[in-house]
Amino acid sequence: MTRRSATAAVAALSLLSVGLLSGCGIRATTVPVDVGAAPSRVSCKTAAGTSASAGTGGVQGVRATVELVCGAQLVGVQRVVQVPEKRPSRDAAVLVGRALLEALQREPSAEDREAGFTTEVPAGLTAGAPRPGDPAGTLRLSRKPEDLPPVALSQLVCTLAASDVVSPGPGPVVLGGPDTDPPRAWECTDAVRSRPESVTTLGDVVRPKASPAPSPS
């Protein structure tokens, strides 16, 4: 077969292939097609909670940011938590902390679940007042913080860290367990929010010992 006849045969085969593809409803192309990123399975978007109200029975609704899990990360959503209207200032952090914990334990609505939101905070977990000698702002949990599922602990730490009542300053959240062990400091960072299973403690928080009284001269 001559070079010219071979070239003609190749061209004929190419035309035949195009014709077969067209007949099957497939459009032949010789350039790559950019179809964009794969569609996300969850939106991680949900409607904001209802407006805060005065409430009834000595309870008021307070708007707060609650950290839920979506797409293996923490995403803050607006919720209305119920706290007592009249509360002693020394108990405010505990009462608000309890309300935030209850909000984390609440099963997400059907709308939230459709958007991809879940919560890992176990039911039955409670928060109580600090023990004598604990640093100010300490919350004592009914389980040791380090015994909680890491994602659940990250949800709790980041939710409490966003509260001006529980964590009024830029410092870490201080959590203790039901025993007499010193409470530990936990910090909500961008790394924790993006990988909530990686939460680690900053260490024990122990109240500094008082300086000895000067000896009488």
- From first to last of its 217 residues, the chain has per-residue pLDDT tens of 554 454 444 444 443 444 433 444 434 333 333 333 334 466 788 765 443 344 455 677 888 999 999 999 999 999 999 887 766 666 888 999 999 999 999 999 999 999 999 999 999 999 999 999 998 889 999 999 999 999 999 999 999 999 988 887 778 999 999 999 999 999 999 999 999 999 999 888 865 554 455 555 4
State which H helix or E strand residue 193 sits in: helix 190-194
Q: Are strands 127-128 and 139-141 parallel, antiparallel or unpaired?
A: antiparallel
Query: Closest Cα partner for 183 from 165, 170, 168, 171?
Result: 171
Strand-pair partners of 176: 140
Query: Closest Cα partner for 96 from 143, 141, 163?
Result: 163
Q: What is the C-alpha separation between 76 and 9, in angstroms, rounded? A: 65
Q: What is the C-alpha separation between 87 and 91, in angstroms, rounded? A: 7
Q: What is the C-alpha separation between 26 and 18, in angstroms, rounded? A: 9
The reported pLDDT for the residue numbered 100 is 96
